[in-house]
Amino acid sequence: MKRIKTDILIIGAGSGGLSVAAGAAQMGADVVLLEGHKMGGDCLNYGCVPSKALIATGKAAYSQQNSAQYGVTDAAGQVDYAAAKDHVADVIATIAPVDSQERFESFGVNVIREYGRFISKDEVQAGDTVIKARRIVIATGSSPLVPPIPGLDKVPFETNETLFGLREAPEHLLIIGGGPIGMEMAQAHIRMGCKVSVIEGAKALGKDDPELAEIVLNTLKEESVEIAEDAVAAEIRGQAGAIEVKTKDGRVFRGTHLLMAVGRRANTENLDLEAGGVKPSRNGIEVDDSLRSSNRRVYAIGDVAGGLQFTHVAGYHAGVIIRSMLFGLPSKAKTSHIPWATYTDPELAQVGMTEAEAREKHGGGLEVVRFHYNHNDRAIAERKTKGFIKVMVVKGRPVGASIVGYQAGELINLWALALANRMKMSQIAAMVAPYPTIGEINKRAAGAYFSPRLFESDLVKRVVGFVQRFIP
């Protein structure tokens, strides 16, 4: 058995683990990184990257089929599903060198391609190597949650880990789960010529503002996606090419392929947390605000920390713990400024509080301002007028923003910046946006906050009148 010592041991080479490894090694720490599967983790290989590549294929097909509004004759927009998957694979391959073992070894990271498990509070075994570390970071991510639905074990099904390897287009794709993954894949596949049915046990896109989610869901329905809500799957039966999902209320959905998209589960089962003195939680590993576990030597970041499950959160967590581990400075993770987006068309984005959350917390002190895409000149020129922005404001500061529409995922960045730095609406209004851009929507939303204060104020009108009469 080989034994080594290190300053920082990282278990998992996904987004969070790689960020810690790169930062810590380049700032002088001795770093060991363990990865028993693929470098880049879920995001690169099975999640964010391949899903957005497939969405791009769907958009390309849809734009060809709906181009007459721009003066271009509509075309068939026929999709070669296998070629689309080649496009997905090429996108992954293009990004992969950034996450490669070779690149991280060039930073001075000792990369060991084995899974790790605790054998003591400061030791982890990986294959035939035992690593003793001053600090240990668990960044093992999450995997698709597969619920114990009767019959599921007898029927072939896809998850996000297998879907992008599928080479033949599903004739009729059944999707159990109406969250972001389910809705993104539903729209991508309907646009690629498949039939799609989404079966959701509660409300589709239920974690987002329902007023905004409704616009997305109605759009998908207009594109012929069948969306069944309050449809709890009770039984699955059939065989490859002929699958049935029966719900508790007796409805039956029939299709050729099944995608399970009901959520994620933290990857902790093979870590032997008890041996490491690490207390698990219901959603992963129990951590404090500094992302430390019950074992003060051990941190948990990203999906396994049991909070928001987004790639950018894992990257943010990496920054939080680097400050603590490398410099001994107090550093805590917050969630109030973390944005997220669903990449349907139109996109759906959120940062901070929704309107309902803000009303519950701030009551009558809340102001909600809106601006619609159909008043933005660039959106009109692009024929992208569906959607609006809604900003929740308390005492002149935004506490949340919700956007549905074209490039919502890009627009939300400004509001994430505002919340992270406690900016005022006056600072947003002072921004000069180039004309004509979609980004003007953000400035116009800030303008909507000040308009009644300027244009409906008797005091303002009296001041203006005084200046015009008495000041030369």
Residues 6+ apart with CB under 8 A from 314: 14, 15, 16, 19, 139, 141, 301, 302, 303
Token duo for residue 50: 């391949």
- The whole domain housing 255 covers 152-262
273 and 136, same domain (yes or no): yes
- 377-396 burial, b at 16+ Cβ within 10 Å, e below that, comes to ebbeeeebbbbbbbbbbbee
Reported confidence tier of residue 459, pLDDT bands at 50, 70, 90: confident
Residue 71 lies in a domain: no
Residue 90 lies in a domain: no
Alpha carbon distance 286, 266 (integer Å): 12
12 and 124, same domain (yes or no): yes
Summarised one tens digit per residue, pLDDT across range 189-206 is: 999 999 999 999 999 999
244 and 287, same domain (yes or no): no
253 and 278, same domain (yes or no): no
Quick one: average pLDDT of 387-414? 98
| Amino acid (one-letter) located at 221 | K
272 and 381, same domain (yes or no): no
Residue 462 lies in a domain: no
206 and 244, same domain (yes or no): yes
| Amino acid (one-letter) located at 127 | G
Cβ atoms < 10 Å from Cβ of 467? 9
Alpha carbon distance 256, 44 (integer Å): 28
What one-character-per-residue DSSP string does 99-140 give? G-HHHHHHTT-EEE-S--EEEETTEEEETTEEEEEEEEEE--
Direct distance between the N- and C-terminal alpha carbons of the chain, in angstroms, rounded to an integer: 90
273 and 375, same domain (yes or no): no
Residue 383 lies in a domain: yes
Query: The domain spanning residue 287 has which CATH number?
Result: 3.50.50.60
3-class DSSP state of 374: helix
Alpha carbon distance 344, 55 (integer Å): 8
Alpha carbon separation from 124 to 5, 326, 370 (Å, rounded): 11, 20, 53
Asked if the model's pLDDT at residue 287 lies above 70, the reply is yes
- Residue 248 φ/ψ, nearest 5 degrees: -65, -30
Residue 139 lies in a domain: yes
Rounded to the nearest angstrom, the gap between the alpha carbon of residue 310 and the centroid of all alpha carbons in its chain is: 5
27 and 126, same domain (yes or no): yes
Alpha carbon distance 279, 295 (integer Å): 8
284 and 403, same domain (yes or no): no
Asked if the model's pLDDT at residue 451 lies above 90, the reply is no
350 and 446, same domain (yes or no): yes
137 and 109, same domain (yes or no): yes
Q: What percent of the chain has pLDDT over 70?
A: 99
pLDDT at 457: 65
Of 169, 206, 204, 203, residue with least CA distance to 189: 169
Summarised one tens digit per residue, pLDDT across range 113-150 is: 999 999 999 999 999 999 999 999 999 999 999 999 99
257 and 345, same domain (yes or no): no
Alpha carbon distance 300, 20 (integer Å): 11
Q: Note whether 428 and 396 are within 8 A (CB).
A: no
Residue 423 lies in a domain: yes
Domain stop point among 233, 262, 291: 262
Domain stop point among 209, 242, 262: 262
- 157-174 burial, b at 16+ Cβ within 10 Å, e below that, comes to bbbbeebbeeeebbebbb
| Amino acid (one-letter) located at 322 | I
Cβ atoms < 10 Å from Cβ of 341? 21
**Beta-bridge mates of residue 280:** 285
Reported confidence tier of residue 454, pLDDT bands at 50, 70, 90: low
| Amino acid (one-letter) located at 363 | G
Query: The domain spanning residue 381 has which CATH number?
Result: 3.30.390.30
Q: Which long-range contacts (CB under 8 A, 24 or more apart) does 355-359 make?
A: 355/209, 355/211, 355/390, 355/392, 355/400, 355/402, 356/209, 357/400, 358/392, 358/394, 358/399, 358/400
Residue 246 lies in a domain: yes
Residue 78 lies in a domain: no
Q: Note whether 255 and 249 are within 8 A (CB).
A: no
pLDDT at 325: 95
Number of domains in the chain: 3
